[in-house]
């Protein structure tokens, strides 16, 4: 288990790791109705982020990213947990607002990017206290 910095507290999550190989724009890049990566230029186009532990090497900015993440939470299509290399205040605002609306939100943590590949292809658990590890 690795200790990660909690960026936004939330529900602990467990799921298959989806380690993105390129930054993504949530606005237009992720379908909030299906949780599918919709950006045809993204290397993981067509993958579903819902219920998975999403490892984000970065995001491509849009002030609407927070709204898309909030919609994913509201629609029950959010990732099980978010693991970011660097904090993204705009994206994470979506979790904060969703939580203020009374919706259950996944935990979001910061973990060194160099460690992301160790989780690829595994079932990963992110605890509410920020511990990240491969599920037994």
Active site residues: 62
How many Cβ atoms are within 10 Å of 38's Cβ, its own excluded? 18
How many other C-beta atoms are found inside a 10 Å radius of the C-beta of residue 57?
Answer: 16
Strand ordering across the sheet containing 81-84: 2-3, 131-134, 123-126, 13-19, 53-56, 81-84, 108-110, 5-8
DSSP H or E run through 69: helix 65-74
CB 99 within 8 Å of CB 71 = no
């Amino acid at each position: 288990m690795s200790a990660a910095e909690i960026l936004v507290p939330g529900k602990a999550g467990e799921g298959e790791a989806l380690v993105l190989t390129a930054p993504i724009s949530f606005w237009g890049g992720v379908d909030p109705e299906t949780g599918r990566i919709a950006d045809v230029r993204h290397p993981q186009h067509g993958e579903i982020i819902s219920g998975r532990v999403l490892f984000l090497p970065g995001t491509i900015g849009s002030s609407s990213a927070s709204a898309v993440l909030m919609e994913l939470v509201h629609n029950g299509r959010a990732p099980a947990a978010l693991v970011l290399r660097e904090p993204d205040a705009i994206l994470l605002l979506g979790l904060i607002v969703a939580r203020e609306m009374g919706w259950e939100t996944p935990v979001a943590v910061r973990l060194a990017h160099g460690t992301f590949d160790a989780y690829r292809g595994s079932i990963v658990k992110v605890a509410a206290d920020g511990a990240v590890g491969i599920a037994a």
